[in-house]
Amino acid sequence: MKILPTRVFIYLLIIILTLSAKLVLAQPIMETGGQKMPDEWIDKDTKHKVVRLSRIEGNSSLSFYFHNNPFIGNKMVFYSSGKNDVSGVQKQEIYSTNSRNKQIWLLDLSTLKSEQLTFHSSPMNGEIVHNKTGEVYYQIKDTVYSVNAQTKKETLVYVFPADFKASITTVNADGTLLAGAWSEDKEKELFRQHPQKSDYFNIIYEAKLPRTLFTINVKTRELKKIFTDSAWLNHIQFSPTDPSLLMFCHEGPWHKVDRIWTININTKEVRLMHKRTMDMEIAGHESISPDGKTIWFDLQQPRGQTFFVAGTDIKTGKETKYSLQRNEWSIHFTISPDQKWFAGDGGDPGQVAKAPDGEWIYLFKPEGDHFVSTKLVNMKHHQYKLEPNIHFSPDGKWIIFRANFEGIENVYGVEIKASGE
């Protein structure tokens, strides 16, 4: 019997152990959703790896709205909710803003370990993160709080006066100001009477009730009213780079409004950022690019027929348009940190595009005047009443989204690089 030299034996042993480890660690190739999924798997239709990021046993979890930055370094702020609220009532569907046990959590994207940051018994709203200071702002009734993601210190920031009950929605680039909109009691009553969007959307628009944009200085606690209009002012976002630039919209049926506006909070200059040019044209779901130079938005000319992602240069007003196919249309679009790629969260046939095969998480690469798409996740088992709201990870290698395709809301990440590449 021939005995192998020791070095050859060791070399073969290393190969065997490496192959065995790869077999053990390999993710299963599966259809996404319609069943309980493992922590990681390969989407059988796209060949991209999907990972469940929120792994809080018994909880349902949601990542932030698409234009709200959730990242502090390589950590991500998100909402999570247990099965039982303080009254013991079973509650898991937390995309409702009224969930009593919805709390703010922090996820380390390197270790996938989560920690709870807030412990309140009343419903909260916010989704406002300042990535440099680490402050996470949120509101409970008329009171604004912050919690620091590093120190875990909670601070009472502001209490709205009785004659100005309003809501915060954004923090500026240097972390000194919060902003939001005030509405009068008549509008609040209309929302109470018509809780479904399909009911209230046109009613609030037609009411033409006054709204006021305001800022709050987080150090001095000074509230300033900066702009009032009879339009439904909404979708309020500070620029990520210019502390004085605030974007807002005229909300309502998109084909009836010139929607996208900015205001300089110091000079009070108000500018329309996209003017409709044809009947039934719509533009919306606007967000500002990471460098603060461009406002990107969904553009349809006309509605439901021809689809673009468009961008307006904030300084010059020059527009760029990338066309896409009906099935590629998405409820929301976002841009990567290096601004070379876009992503979309798709849509079901009931959405404005009426796409027969649009239920996908998409990656888009601009080429000339159009997008070239890559399908990342098959979302056919996801119920689109919960919008996925995509984000690029800070390193640009993953798309993070929320979904209910396992029967409960969770936060997921899909690797942009296909398995085996």
Among 188-197, 235-244, 334-343, the least confident range: 188-197
Predicted confidence at residue 352, as pLDDT, reads 97
CA distances from 97 to 62, 75, 125, 146 (A): 11, 23, 7, 18
Please check the confidence at residue 258 and state whether its pLDDT lies above 80. yes
Going from the C-alpha of 19 to that of each of 10, 25, 30, 38, 120, the distances in angstroms are 14, 10, 22, 22, 49
Exposure letters 378-387 (e unless 16+ CB within 10 A, then b): bbbbbebebb
User: pLDDT by residue (tens digit) across 92-134?
Assistant: 444 444 556 789 999 999 999 999 999 998 889 989 999 999 9
Distance of alpha carbon 26 from alpha carbon 252, whole angstroms:
48
Q: CB atoms < 10 A from the CB of 245, how many?
A: 22
Among 295, 301, 193, residue whose Cα is nearest residue 235: 295
| Residue 76 contacts residue 106 (beta carbons within 8 Å) | yes
Task: Give the model confidence (pLDDT) of 153-209 as tens digits.
Answer: 999 999 999 999 999 999 999 999 999 999 998 988 998 898 888 889 999 999 999
Say if CB 52 and CB 412 are below 8 A apart: yes
Q: What is the mean pLDDT of the chain?
A: 91
pLDDT score recorded for residue 195? 84
| Cβ-proximal residues to 7 (8 Å cutoff; 6+ apart), any chain | none
- Tokens 């033409």 locate to 208
Tell me, what DSSP letter sits at residue 90?
Answer: B
Distance CA 273, CA 288 (A): 12
Q: What topology does CATH give the domain 42-418? A: Methylamine Dehydrogenase; Chain H (2.130.10)
- pLDDT exceeds cutoff 50 at 91: no
* Domain spans, the chain: 42-418
